[in-house]
Amino acid sequence: MRAWGFMGLVLLCGLAACEPPAAAGGALGQLRLGGVLGDTESAGYSKARDVIEFRFPRDHLAHDTFRSEWWYLTFMLRDAAGAEFGAQFTVFRQALQPSPVSANPWQTNQAYLGHFAITDVAAGEHRAYERVARGHPQLAGVRESPFQLALDGWQLEAIADQPGWHLRADSADDSLDVVLTPAKPVVFHGNAGLSVKGPGNASYYYSISRMSVTGRLQAGGVEHQVTGSAWFDREWSTSVLSDDQIGWDWFGLQFDDGRDLMVFQLRRRDGRRDPYDQGLWVALDGSSRSLNSEDFSLEPVAYWHDADGVSWPIQWQLQTATGSWRIRAALADQRMATSLVYWEGLIDIYDPANKRVGRGYMELTGYGDDG
């Protein structure tokens, strides 16, 4: 359940490749989820309505007839000395209108935005970066053979004759240059990949819940050789949120015993539990089991307050039939001060005996945007 809109940012950048400073945040104009993920202004676009047959690597590519799409990687890493890091790499595609303007690639109806962030736990620092470009072979887009996702110098590409990918992203004194190898197969959310978020609103959604990672991370100009794991999310849609939904809380959890769990809850304006909340257990062998809203509960237990007065829940109690866990942010401030402000960061998982039993990533959206 991952999505952003960025039409306002694209227009501000004039559809040219640019890298706005993430710290500017609201200076670029804070965007609202409902404006780009709601069920308005969707005429002419394809919509997620029916179960489809997924094919790979085809479905790693862009689905341009849908309004929004994203490729999402989150990383749980450590160096040889045991220092811990988180990283996020995301590319979003947004169609600015349903049909191409012309065959001229410079008159594309597609725009791309990327986010790259590093969490340095020992230093207590989180830094985020943002780039945006029109869809053009020289600037941003996806190609099939070999698979490559690129945005203005940031690049995720297939490795020849191997199952893994190579990621390169850098900004200022932070960079990530790593190889990712799937440790589990693709899993599908909802009904065989059709993830329904409400009446008439749905997305196509799949993940690789665990990928092994090796390579180099630079944090604040200091280079580290790192190993760890990553979570890969893929989703495309035209309408996701209904008028009574203001955002979501998403968790991708990797337990030390080899299990993985994704859960998300959709936050409603009236404060009630949304019946379309869902999740997915992924076993050590890669088999998966879906959860509905009755199969788990999430309760916030501690908050961090940003300079704008917005309260972000950074500790949670998660309950399922399998067990109960406390989820804690590795750093309180992992707020993404980008064109759409949200919280995305590294988290730790603790059992009832307060023993850490895993790590993961949490995403909180729509906070401070519920008017």
Phi/psi at 10 (5° precision): -60, -45
Q: Which long-range contacts (CB under 8 A, 24 or more apart) does 299-306 make?
A: 301/326, 302/328, 304/329, 304/332, 304/333, 306/333, 306/335
3-class SS of residue 33: helix
Number of domains in the chain: 1
* Residue 271 within a domain: yes
* Residue 101 within a domain: yes
Task: Report the distance separating Cα 219 and Cα 251, nearest Å.
Answer: 24
Residue by residue, pLDDT tens for the chain (371 residues) are: 554 444 444 433 444 444 444 433 322 233 333 434 445 567 899 999 999 999 999 999 999 999 999 999 999 999 999 999 999 999 999 999 998 888 888 889 999 999 999 999 999 999 999 999 999 989 999 999 899 999 999 999 999 888 999 999 999 999 999 999 999 999 999 999 999 999 989 999 999 999 999 999 999 999 999 999 999 999 999 987 888 999 999 999 999 999 999 999 999 999 999 999 999 999 999 999 999 999 999 999 999 999 999 999 999 999 999 999 999 999 999 999 998 899 999 999 999 999 999 999 999 999 986 54
**E strands, 81-139, where?**
84-95, 110-120, 125-134
Distances (CA, A) of 307 to 20, 120, 335, 341: 21, 21, 11, 13
* Residue 369 within a domain: no
* Residue 1 within a domain: no
Distances (CA, A) of 278 to 61, 67, 80, 146, 263: 25, 23, 37, 34, 6
* Residue 319 within a domain: yes
Task: Report the distance separating Cα 348 and Cα 360, nearest Å.
Answer: 6
> Residue 106 — left, alpha, or beta (φ > 0 → left; ψ -120 to 50 → alpha)?
alpha
* Residue 371 within a domain: no
> Can you give the residue range of the structural domain that contains 185?
7-364
Q: Could you tell me the CATH number of the domain that includes residue 269?
A: 2.40.370.10
Task: Report the distance separating Cα 127 and Cα 109, nearest Å.
Answer: 31
Residues of the chain with pLDDT > 70: what percent? 88
* Residue 2 within a domain: no
pLDDT at residue number 32: 37
Query: Whole-model pTM?
Result: 0.91
* Residue 99 within a domain: yes
- Single out the residue of 154, 81, 111, 160 nearest to residue 339, CA to CA: 111
